[in-house]
Amino acid sequence: MVNGEKAQIGMTIKKDDRVTVDGKDIAAIPDDERVVLVFHKPAGITCTSDPKRRDNIIDYIDYHKRIFTVGRLDRDSRGLILLTDDGILAHRIMHSSFGHEKEYRVTVDRPIDESFLNNMREGVMLEDQMTLPARAWQTAERTFHLVISQGLNRQIRRMCEALGFEVIDLLRVRVMHITLGSQKEGELRELSPKEKQELFKNLGMEDGRP
């Protein structure tokens, strides 16, 4: 029954409608309650659900619902990775055409200078293509932050290698407006309602739907 009347096939149920089955109220699950998790991935964990891999991230987290990663962090990298049960949301975050920012803290094997940073900002020629312009700033003698909107395979490590540097540590600290903050390595948390609301707004989704 919908608002006391027999339900009809194809009818639209509004948010404020009362739905009952055998006299019992049925509460609809709001779209914005879909699972969105923030995980601080340790090095040595692989972003795959393949059960044949003993280091796979899904078994490591052991969440009670079926989830998958939004994008990837390579096995040797650490930091923020999102997981969800929503394929539309994952696509809109990952796809390069949407241009969403990802920020990394990168430590290399020797001191960097302004020339190195300028190369990072302007784009680096890899084997088959030039990377897009990015933002970069130095925070220590061998450490810098890099903000990119691309998602090429092992992109930052390859950019550094092309300039003669080796990455010693790679930590993702932000995806869009979602930050790692003080979240500890190996720690999992749910996106806060405020973060989730802003995420859907930034993705052009309303209540979790396009």
User: Which of 78, 72, 8, 86 has the alpha carbon at shortest distance from 43?
Assistant: 78
For 25-70, the pLDDT digits (tens) are 776 445 556 899 999 999 999 999 999 999 999 999 999 999 999 9
H-run or E-run covering 159: helix 155-162
Catalytic residue among 74, 85, 86, 109: 74
H-run or E-run covering 202: helix 193-202
Domain 101-175: state its class: alpha beta
pTM higher than 0.75: yes
pLDDT at 13 over 90: no
Question: What is the fold, at CATH topology level, of the domain defined by 34-98+186-210?
Answer: Alpha-Beta Plaits (3.30.70)
CA 39 to chain centre: 9
Per domain, the residue ranges of the chain are: 1-29, 34-98+186-210, 101-175
What's the pLDDT score for residue 208? 47
3-state SS class at 119: helix
DSSP annotation string for 131-149: PPP-EEEEEETTEEEEEES
Establish whether 74 is a catalytic residue: yes
For 65-108, the pLDDT digits (tens) are 999 999 999 999 999 999 999 887 888 888 766 789 999 999 99
Backbone torsions φ then ψ of 168, nearest 5 degrees: -95, -35
Same fold, 34-98+186-210 and 101-175: yes
